[in-house]
């Protein structure tokens, strides 16, 4: 299968599994990604997910150009008629944290996928780029907007307008990734982060993610007011009471997500 998903201890591990094609995205994989985004929202057994690529050469290299020629239908027909323009990030959106573990090339749609995740770590052999201008296109899955929201405008423009790639060290310096580790340590590092997240109160984790994403688009006073409202919503939850009891009793909390 192009996308392999396993769930253990509330952690979903998502492997983009087309190593023979540098984990590029074909139509079947795109449909599976749409299903994955739906599952992330609906499956209460998943608290956090790690996304990575099979093998050690590529995280994801974007669309498989050999299998994703332009459709016969017009874009207007797909967008307004079927509401299905074919973007791999269609239906994307969840309050559950996503961690990108980038092993090798993350270019085109692969970098767009990594940028859509909440935390990104990389192996030392990772490389990043958005080269769509070189083939007469633009990063159509959110890269144009997410990259300058992740790094400075100048660094984003440098990558977007030249199509040049950068290595893992430079990606860490400008803020695309949080940390760089040797390739054998990549998944253990991602799993350690995921476990620490999964151990926390799930409603609080999801609330923090939603507040960060919504607050970045709001004036600061409005965002702080929204924080106060959500704090009030969480104040009387069973998990918040359990967290305080566990702290007082010097034990690990047993959160139930309610």
Whole-Å CA distances, 95 to 47, 117, 231: 9, 11, 16
The verdict on whether 31 is a catalytic residue reads no
* Domain co-membership, 32 together with 154: yes
Q: Determine the structural domain holding residue 212 and report its residue range.
A: 202-249
* Domain co-membership, 18 together with 133: yes
- From 73, 132, 199, 225, the catalytic residue: 132
The verdict on whether 73 is a catalytic residue reads no
Q: Which two tokens stand for residue 133?
A: 């201008």
Alpha-carbon gap, residue 117 to 20, rounded angstroms: 24
* Domain co-membership, 143 together with 212: no
CB 50 within 8 A of CB 190: yes
* Domain co-membership, 33 together with 70: yes
Give strand ranges (E) for 17-65. Answer: 48-53, 58-60
Whole-Å CA distances, 22 to 16, 17, 58, 220: 10, 9, 5, 42
* Domain co-membership, 235 together with 189: no
CA angle 77-26-166, nearest 5°? 110
Question: DSSP class of residue 79?
Answer: I
**pTM for the predicted model, two decimal places:** 0.92
* Domain co-membership, 141 together with 207: no
Count up the domains in the chain and report the number.
2
Residue 257 lies in a domain: no
Alpha-carbon gap, residue 172 to 165, rounded angstroms: 13
* Domain co-membership, 94 together with 218: no
* Domain co-membership, 179 together with 207: no
Say whether 131 sits in a helix, a strand or coil.
coil
- From 8, 31, 112, 199, the catalytic residue: 112
* Domain co-membership, 153 together with 215: no
Q: Which of 157, 178, 198 lies at the terminal end of a domain, its last residue?
A: 198
* Domain co-membership, 131 together with 216: no
Q: What is the pLDDT along the chain (258 residues), one digit of tens a residue?
A: 789 999 999 999 999 999 999 999 988 888 898 899 999 999 999 999 999 999 999 999 988 766 665 666 777 777 776 655 567 777 888 999 999 999 999 999 999 999 999 999 999 999 999 999 998 999 989 999 999 999 999 999 999 999 999 999 999 999 999 999 999 999 999 999 999 999 999 999 999 999 999 999 999 999 999 999 999 999 989 999 999 999 999 999 999 999
* Domain co-membership, 83 together with 167: yes
């Amino acid at each position: 299968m192009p996308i392999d998903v396993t769930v253990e201890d509330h952690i979903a591990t998502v492997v983009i599994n087309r190593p023979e094609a540098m984990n590029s995205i074909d139509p079947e994989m795109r449909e599976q990604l749409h299903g994955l985004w739906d599952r992330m929202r609906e499956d209460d057994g998943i608290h956090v997910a790690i996304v990575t690529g099979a093998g050690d050469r590529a995280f994801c290299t974007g669309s498989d150009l050999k299998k994703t020629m332009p459709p016969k239908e017009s874009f207007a027909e797909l967008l307004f008629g079927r509401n299905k323009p074919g973007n791999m990030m269609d239906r994307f959106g969840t309050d559950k944290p996503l961690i990108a573990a980038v092993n090798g090339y993350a270019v085109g749609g692969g970098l767009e996928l990594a940028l859509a995740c909440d935390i990104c770590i990389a192996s030392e052999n990772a490389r990043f780029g958005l080269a769509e201008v070189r083939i007469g296109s633009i990063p159509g899955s959110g890269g144009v907007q997410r990259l300058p929201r992740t790094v400075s405008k100048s660094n984003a423009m440098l990558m977007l307008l030249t199509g040049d790639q950068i290595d893992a060290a430079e990606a860490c310096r400008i803020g695309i990734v949080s940390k760089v580790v040797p390739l054998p340590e990549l998944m253990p590092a991602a799993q350690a982060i995921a476990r620490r997240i999964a151990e926390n109160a799930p409603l609080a984790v999801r609330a923090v993610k939603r507040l960060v994403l919504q607050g970045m688009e709001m004036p600061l006073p409005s965002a702080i007011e929204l924080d106060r409202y959500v704090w009030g919503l969480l104040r009387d939850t069973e998990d918040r009471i359990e967290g305080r009891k566990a702290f007082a009793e010097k034990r690990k909390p047993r959160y139930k997500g309610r």
